[in-house]
Amino acid sequence: ATPEALRDAAIKGIFDSLDPHSSYIDPESYALARDDFEGLGSFEGIGATVSKEGDWVVIAQPLPNTPAERAGVKVGDQVLEVDGQSAEGWSVQLAVTKIRGPIGTSVTIKVRHRDGTVETFKITRDKIAVESVSRLPLLGGVLRDAAGEEVKDLAYVRIRSFSRTTPQELEKALKDVNGSGAKGIILDLRSNPGGLLQETVQVADMFLDKGQIFFQQDRDGAESGAIARPGHSTELPIVILQDEFSASGAELLAGALQENGRAKVVGTRSFGKGTVNHARDLSNGGALYVSIGRWLTPKHNQIEGRGIIPDYEVTMTLEEIEARKDIPAARAIDMLRGNPLPPPTRATPTATPTATGTPHR
CA 281, distance to chain mean position in Å, is 24
List 23, 246, 248, 270, catalytic entry: 248
List 169, 273, 304, 313, catalytic entry: 273
Do the beta carbons of residue 233 and residue 205 sit within 8 Å?
A: no
Q: Which residues contact 88 (CB under 8 A, 6 or more apart)?
A: 55, 56, 80
d(C-alpha 264, C-alpha 259), whole Å: 9
| Residue from 81, 86, 90, 89 nearest 111 by CA | 81
List 259, 270, 304, 313, catalytic entry: 259
Q: Is 259 a catalytic residue?
A: yes
Q: Is 122 a catalytic residue?
A: no
Burial class of residue 142 in the structure, from the number of CB atoms within 10 Å of its CB (0-12 exposed, 13-18 middle, 19+ buried):
exposed
Sign of CA dihedral 327, 330, 334, 336: positive
Q: Is 88 a catalytic residue?
A: no
Active site residues: 248, 259, 273
